[in-house]
A and B are shown apart, each in its own frame.
Chain A
């Protein structure tokens, strides 16, 4: 039944490994960039607030597919920005895909964090200010640590969506799971149900434990109020 796998023609595990790598680097990047955006949106500097708001509204209303294609056709093929010294298309495509995934998912991290900041009682910030802490200290020492603990579940949902959205990188030829599935479905046309089920199963395996693990974490770290 799985004889198309035995030919050694398709590296399914390798493709899913690329998916995992895309998810890993994009998750870290969008967590950092999303936190910076959230800090900008609550900062005392009006200009930074405006920038954060405009960035979030523009980017989250743009389809990820448009961002990924623009990174490949626009940034790389037109402007010659490769993000790497080498001219290996695999590496360039991978890095551009990570860049686009970060730019897009950071907006959702930012919105999740902002809602987390809203769950922190006003008294926490007031007490911190009464102690003489300045804005960056209030945010980084008092408010954000509590906000992060409140938004583990929303962030887990963003991570799961990010895992699924790495498939969009297939549009610029990054050799991840969805691209391999497209290839296999075309060549092994007598086994499309089997091939599809296999890739669907792969994604269920990737997303289900993430959700369960982070659900457990969110219960453990939740701030009791």
Chain B
């Protein structure tokens, strides 16, 4: 039922009038809620122009706080993605191995790290680095954040890779075997390149998850990423908490929205290319990947 208008009849004159009434009531309720919030904000002086104007008129808010914070967020996210992708691919392939002694431990590791919160891994990594290594304390939060994100997301990516490979028709493996390819060759030349297409949407939403989860490092480990700039800005620009949170949240939303849009654009291109070359993996025969992790980042 993808065309949702089957849920209701085409509105006639009375239904149209009723819909207008509902719209008006909804707008009034929404307006009342907004007015209530704005009233409280005005009461606590959060609507004053000088609390919001620095974000527009004072470039130093951006150059001193927001942009370095954003760069730190991107740095932690990029490092995590670059390490987690190959690691996840290795574990995902290991779970499909013919050898029990490879498949079972890989499965245990993946299931374990998927079951515990990413924050716990960050705390553990932070403490372990402090105790057993001589990483200086100013870069330790970055190491801890990246370690936590890699451990968790590599195991999720492993599941994505596994589901992507399993979603391919078995004729692919059969044909590759028939022309005399070895197991490694089948994986590298036949299965993985095709699986990437099927995995792309899930992989990108996992990247969004990683970007969002870097904020944990700011709140609890003292990593100076975007969220932790809120405290610095409110300390320096006169307690403009609401304004600072709004701007930081908007930056996150825009960043993640861009990532998602980029992904659907790339996906569209890849799918189209596949169809035009007459490859086996048509968009319609490409059975839905059996992977339903909801990508609920923190």
Contacts and interface: CB of A to CB of B under 8 A. Distances in A.
B293 A44 contact: no
A47 B23 CA distance: 6
Nearest to A116: B1
Interface string B230-250: 100010000101100100110
B72 interface: no
Interface in A47-71: 47-48, 51, 57-58, 61-70
Given A42-B7, A158-B294, A121 B116 contact: no
B241 A77 contact: yes
Interface in A87-131: 105, 108, 111-112, 117-122, 124-126, 129
Contacts of B245: 66, 69-70, 73-74
A181 B125 CA distance: 13
Chain B binding site: helix, strand, loop or mixed by DSSP? helix
Pick the most buried of A51, A138, A178: most chain B CB atoms within 10 A of its CB: A178
A22 interface: no
14 contacts: A61-B256, A65-B218, A65-B298, A125-B7, A129-B8, A153-B292, A157-B292, A161-B296, A164-B116, A165-B117, A167-B117, A168-B216, A200-B120, A203-B117
B99 interface: no
Contacts of B9: 129
Contacts of A65: 212, 215-216, 218-219, 227, 298
B44 A80 contact: yes
Contact of A73 (B7, B44, B230, B260): B230
B253 A62 contact: yes
Instruction: Enumerate the 6 nearest inter-chain pairs by beta-carbon distance, A residue then B residue, closest first.
Output: A161-B296, A63-B215, A65-B215, A61-B256, A63-B212, A164-B117
Interface in A10-55: 42, 44-48, 51
Interface of A: 42, 44-48, 51, 57-58, 61-70, 73-74, 77-81, 105, 108, 111-112, 117-122, 124-126, 129, 134-135, 138-139, 143, 153-154, 157-158, 161-162, 164-165, 167-168, 170-171, 178, 181-182, 185-186, 189, 192, 196, 199-200, 203-204, 207-208
Contacts of B216: 63, 65, 168, 171
Contacts of A42: 4, 7
B7 A143 contact: yes
Interface residues of B, number: 63
B40 interface: yes
B120 A203 contact: yes
B8 A78 contact: no
B186 to A, nearest CB: 31
B294 A154 contact: yes
B239 A108 contact: no
B48 to A, nearest CB: 13
Interface in B208-231: 208, 211-216, 218-220, 227, 230
B103 to A, nearest CB: 20
B119 interface: yes
B253 A58 contact: yes
Contacts of A112: 294
A36 B256 CA distance: 25
B247 to A, nearest CB: 11
Interface of B: 1-4, 6-9, 11, 15, 19, 22-23, 26-27, 30, 40-41, 44, 46, 112, 115-120, 123-124, 127-128, 130-131, 208, 211-216, 218-220, 227, 230, 234, 239, 241-242, 245, 248-249, 252-253, 256-257, 260, 292-294, 296-298
A44 B6 CA distance: 10
Nearest to A138: B7
A63 B30 CA distance: 24
B135 to A, nearest CB: 15
B22 A45 contact: yes
B219 A69 contact: yes
A187 to B, nearest CB: 11
A80 B256 CA distance: 31
A164 B120 CA distance: 9
A61 B259 CA distance: 10
A215 B218 CA distance: 35
A196 B126 CA distance: 12
Residue of B7, B215, B227 with most partner-chain A CB within 10 A: B7
B77 to A, nearest CB: 11
A108 B260 CA distance: 16
Contacts of A118: 1-2
